[in-house]
Amino acid sequence: MFLVTRLASADDKPAISLDPQRAFGYLEDICKLGPRPSASVGMTKQQELLDTHFTKLGGQVSLQEFDTPHPQKGTPVRMKNVIVSWHPQAKERVLLCCHYDTRPFPDRDKSNPQGIFLGANDGASGVALYMEMAHMIPTLKTTYGVDMVFFDGEEFIFQRDGGKYFLGSEYFSEQYRDRPPQYRYLCGVLVDMIGDKKLTIRRESNSLKYAPKVNRSLFDTAKRLGITEFVPLPMKQEINDDHISLNVIARIPTVDLIDFDYPAWHTTKDTPSQCSGASLVKVGRVLLEWLQHVPEDVGR
């Protein structure tokens, strides 16, 4: 008789199993809370939902709060970024982020620009994705700690054009720069509008400019997994999003994964019926696989 010693190999990693139905259920749960602009009733309910969900799965939940003047009234509005830390003792960390507020009005809706904006894709999709990924993160074989950060005030905007966007990510980035924590972020990934039933994620030019290695490693991972919704061709538009502050102010090389080809954008039609759990899970598989192979020099 002889013994076969199995060496630890890539096959020993826990299988990544994300559940598209459960992911879609999270997206529906969030939308059932109603519109979720900064400091609204829906937003408060969402904060409670996230706290309960992530705490139950072993994440460490904290809030980063600040006040900002209301763009119309000038009165202070309390903003809350939600931070969920996994393996909080790790000094080298990867940032996964999205915005979780919704635009106050669907101002691109031709027939009802003051109607109800649910933000299923533009708001709930990233949150639902991270809620689903949270089932896998505690057992994931990664060298790095992971922080999921949900930015408030991405679009606390009451006019169709202009206005100050990205309040939460800007504050987060300034704090990171001005009060450096005991840990550092190696790199980051921002997701936005990744729930579209017809998902296509292309290379975004600001991500290529500020975080080329992160970008390449994400698209290489998608290719290896055969996830063809990631198309390594340039997007038509340059995207201004929460990743700009992270790259420029915090100097965390951060990629924006976004599908901007979405006819329901900023309309009353941005509802769960436009989204799919399959799309969410495809992005989730890329991110989880990528987290286990983040190249050490990715941030340099």
**By CB under 5 A, is residue 122 in contact with Zn ion?**
yes
| Residue (101 or 147) nearer to Zn ion, CB | 101
CB of 167 to Zn ion, least distance (A): 14
Residue 240, burial from CB neighbour count under 10 angstroms (0-12, 13-18, 19+): exposed
How far is it, in rounded angstroms, from Cα 245 to Cα 213? Answer: 18
Hunting for tokens 């992005």 — which residue is that?
283
| Residue (107 or 122) nearer to Zn ion, CB | 122
Residue number with the shortest CB distance to Zn ion?
122
| Residue (154 or 289) nearer to Zn ion, CB | 154
The closest of 28, 63, 57, 30 to 46, measured between CA atoms, is 30
Q: In 10 A of CB 215, how many CB atoms? A: 24
CB of 14 to Zn ion, least distance (A): 35
CB of 155 to Zn ion, least distance (A): 5
- Decide: helix, strand or coil at residue 111: coil
**By CB under 5 A, is residue 289 in contact with Zn ion?**
no
CB of 263 to Zn ion, least distance (A): 14
Q: In 10 A of CB 176, how many CB atoms? A: 19
CB of 122 to Zn ion, least distance (A): 4
How far is it, in rounded angstroms, from Cα 145 to Cα 50? Answer: 19
**By CB under 5 A, is residue 196 in contact with Zn ion?**
no
| Residue (18 or 128) nearer to Zn ion, CB | 128
| Residue (38 or 85) nearer to Zn ion, CB | 38
Q: 40-49 in b/e burial notation, b at 16+ Cβ within 10 A? A: bebbeebbeb
Site string for Zn ion, 140-169 (x = CB under 5 A): ---------------x--------------
CB of 219 to Zn ion, least distance (A): 24
CB of 101 to Zn ion, least distance (A): 9
Which one of the spans 19-27, 119-127, 196-204, 289-297 is the region binding Zn ion (CB under 5 A)?
A: 119-127
CB 270 within 8 A of CB 27: no
For 7, residues 6+ apart whose C-beta sits below 8 A from its C-beta are: none
Site string for Zn ion, 248-277 (x = CB under 5 A): ------------------------------
CB of 23 to Zn ion, least distance (A): 21
| Residue (134 or 191) nearer to Zn ion, CB | 191
Q: Residue type at 300?
A: R
| Residue (122 or 289) nearer to Zn ion, CB | 122
Instruction: Beginning with the edge strand found earlier in the chain, give each strand of the sheet holding 60-69 in spatial order.
Output: 60-69, 76-86, 145-151, 92-99, 184-192, 254-258
40-69 positions binding Zn ion, by CB under 5 A? none
Per DSSP, the residues of 221-287 read HHHHHT-TTEEEEE-SS---STHHHHHHTS---EEEEE----TTTTSTT-SGGGB-HHHHHHHHHHH
| Residue (53 or 103) nearer to Zn ion, CB | 103
Q: Residue type at 26?
A: Y
Which one of the spans 29-37, 56-64, 71-79, 117-125 is the region binding Zn ion (CB under 5 A)?
A: 117-125
Q: Judged by CB under 5 A, how many residues of this single chain contact Zn ion?
A: 2
Q: In 10 A of CB 98, how many CB atoms? A: 26
Interface ranges with Zn ion (CB under 5 A): 122, 155
